Amino acid sequence: MKTFVISVFTTLSSLSFAQSNVGFFQRMNSSRMVEKGIEQYNLGGTSDAYMTFKQASVFNPGSARALYYLASVEFELKNFYEAETHVGAAIKLNDKKLNSDLHLLAGQIHHNLNHLDSAISHYQTCANLVGDKLAKEYAIPVLLEQSQFAKKEQEKGILSLRKPMSEINTKYDEYAPILTQGGQALYFTAKNPDAKGDNMNPEDQSYFEDIYFSFWNDTTKTYKITYSEDTDWNTEGFDALNCVLSDGMHAYGTLNTSASKEKTTESSEIFELTAEKPFAWDEQKMVKIPGVNTSFFDGSACMTDTFMVDEYTYKRELYFVSDRRAEKSLTDLFVATETNGVWGESALALPDVINTSGRETTPFITEDGTLLFFSSDALPGMGGYDVYFCKRTGNQWSAPVNLGAAFNTVNDDTHFQYYPALGKAVMAGISELDGLFNYNIFQMDLNGKSFPFMN
């Protein structure tokens, strides 16, 4: 169960009856609606809380508190423009008890809208109001650093290479793109109303993810969307495909039915697809590798091909995300290693130069095992999740390198996959589509380009 923790510095029970143009009972009703909205949010009803906070602000348009909570939920729902309007209105009311919260929230909203000078100003105002200790506790120096990093990247005049896959992207979330069969086929994951079982995730009140499949159409020069090749892949819970090896003989994905009616998993688990004929997949099977598919969240897996370490040693590696070290960090990257056909006794966390106290996610390992791409929200970046890469020399990984403004934005950027043979990469990221912000899929043409990970 989630808890309403958006308010950092305020007391939830504080009331203000300073608005002279609103009657006593309207103010009381507004205050009660705010409390009801907080309760709804804590029980997982984000959409219900949004409507309640909206009603509270109608009862009392002069309530900075109602506007603050309304803007907070709008921000979480990625309704950034509405959130900007409501947090701006709340700041004008000059509620001294809420000023620090409002400026922090305004900074985050403007950051996500790429209004970087305004974001920096609000972050600095918040830091001045609360002092160094609380500012550090609530990561304001990190947010300032991200805003300034993004500003410097954009001032370099670097143009984004991201081209949206317009035939795929909708007002719902699409992510985890995978190009296969020489770029003629595309797998992706989406939260869509036609999800199997029409089932909603109680955590965020959105549709559960399903796997989709598309073929390239040479006439229309677009990918034609279909449901997954095998509808048995999709359950009434969370389904995602994360990695397909280029030979079409192995693929890996994530399954979580713990919040659905089926309840075949206790948490997120990694599945494998195999084929006797390329891309003609057999039935899903849960991965049986020591240290994988624990009682914790395990998912977003990718596998190398078999590669030679020396004359006598060959390896395969499975990279994945887990929250099994949650007492130390949020989510980390792990690797399970098969040496000369035998899997190791456990999966190991990647070095601390890669794993941080924040969230690392969506790893992608090139099939030769030399390049690792992943997303992190705690390494130096532009905001939210940025994509990074590391190169392996011998048994050592280099320090992560941010891919920069050619690929990253001020919003979440994830699911990066690089295909040297095609001269292409794909990724997902939160971006605006018809005024709405959600996860969309992008393709990048790298032919004729030169980036450090390509050398």
Backbone angles phi, psi at 394, to 5 degrees: 65, -120
What pLDDT, on a 0 to 100 scale, did the predictor assign at position 227? 57
Tell me whether residue 369 is in a domain. yes
Q: What is the pLDDT of residue 230?
A: 52
Do residue 427 and residue 410 come from a single domain?
yes
Q: Quick one: 126 and 222 in the same domain?
A: no
Residue 245 scores a pLDDT above 80: yes
**Does 141 fall in a domain?**
yes
Q: What is the pLDDT of residue 309?
A: 87
- Residues 103 and 86: their CA atoms lie apart, in Å, by 12
Last residue of a domain, one of 134, 155, 176: 155
Task: Pull the structure tokens for residue 175.
Answer: 């992510």
CA-to-CA separations, 256 to 29, 111, 265, in angstroms, rounded: 41, 32, 6
Q: What is the CATH number of the domain that holds 74?
A: 1.25.40.10
2 falls within a domain:
no
Helix (H) or strand (E) holding 210: strand 209-217
Which pLDDT score is estimated for 22? Answer: 67
Q: Is residue 14 part of a domain?
A: no
Could you tell me the CATH number of the domain that includes residue 245? 2.115.10
Lowest mean pLDDT among 15-24, 146-155, 201-210: 15-24
Q: Do 240 and 120 belong to one domain?
A: no
**Structure tokens, 13:** 């029970």
The Cβ-side half-sphere exposure at 427, using a 13 Å CA radius, reads 31
> Pick from 102, 129, 155: which residue ends a domain?
155
Q: Integer distance in angstroms from the first to the last C-alpha of the chain?
A: 46
Could you write out the DSSP letters of every residue in 172-188? S-EEEEEEEGGGTEEEE
The pLDDT of residue 129 is above 90? yes
Same domain, 417 and 291: yes
- Whether residues 280 and 406 fall in one domain: yes
CA distance 161 to 429: 13
Q: 137 with 173, same domain?
A: no
Tell me the residue range of the domain where 288 lies: 163-454
273: nearest Cα among 291, 292, 249: 249
Is the pLDDT confidence value at 390 over 80? yes
Q: In the chain, what percentage of residues exceed pLDDT 90?
A: 75
Domain identity same for 368 and 388: yes
Domains identified in the chain, total number: 2
Q: What is the DSSP string of 287-343?
A: ---TTSS-SS-EEEEEEPPPEEEETTEEEEEEEEEE-TTTTT-SBEEEEEEEETTEE
In-domain check, residue 392: yes
Question: Could you tell me if 275 and 419 lie in one domain?
Answer: yes
Q: What is the mean pLDDT of residues 384-413?
A: 96
- Spell out the alpha helix ranges (H) of 77-214: 80-92, 99-112, 116-137, 140-155
Q: DSSP readout, 333-371?
A: EEEEEEETTEE-SS-EEPPTTT--SSBEEEEEE-TTS-E
Query: Considering only CA atoms, which of 322, 442, 454, 441 is closest in space to residue 401?
Result: 454
Q: Cα angle vertex 249, ends 244, 252, to 5°? A: 40
Ranges 144-158, 195-209, 429-443: which has the least confidence = 195-209
For residue 223, give both structure tokens: 């990918």
pLDDT number for residue 3: 58
At which of 155, 181, 200 does a domain end?
155
- Residue whose pair of structure tokens reads 């994951």 in the numeric block: 189
State which H helix or E strand residue 41 sits in: helix 24-42
For residues 129 and 100, is the Cβ–Cβ distance under 8 A? yes
Residue 381: is its pLDDT beyond 50? Answer: yes
Same domain, 147 and 171: no
Do 324 and 390 fall within a single domain?
yes
Q: Which of 374, 421, 432 lies closest to 402 in space, CA to CA?
A: 374
Confidence of residue 13 (pLDDT cuts 50, 70, 90): very low
Looking at the domain assignment, is residue 4 inside a domain?
no
Determine, yes or no, domain membership for 32.
Answer: yes
Rounded to the nearest 10 degrees, the angle between the axes of helix 80-92 and helix 99-112 is: 150
**What is the distance of C-alpha 362 from the center of its chain?**
9
Looking at the predicted structure, is the pLDDT value of residue 231 above 90?
no
| Residues pairing with 441 in the sheet | 428
Contact between 161 and 407 under an 8 Å Cβ cutoff? The reply is: yes
Sign of torsion over alpha carbons 338, 343, 344, 346: positive
Query: What does the pLDDT read at residue 99?
Result: 95
Task: Specify the pLDDT at position 371.
Answer: 97
Cα(8)–Cα(315) distance, integer angstroms: 48
Q: Is 130 exposed, middle or buried (0-12, 13-18, 19+ CB in 10 A)?
A: buried
Do 287 and 173 share a structural domain? yes
The pTM of the full predicted model, rounded to 2 decimals, is 0.90
Within this chain, do residues 181 and 82 fall inside the same structural domain, yes or no? no
17 falls within a domain: no
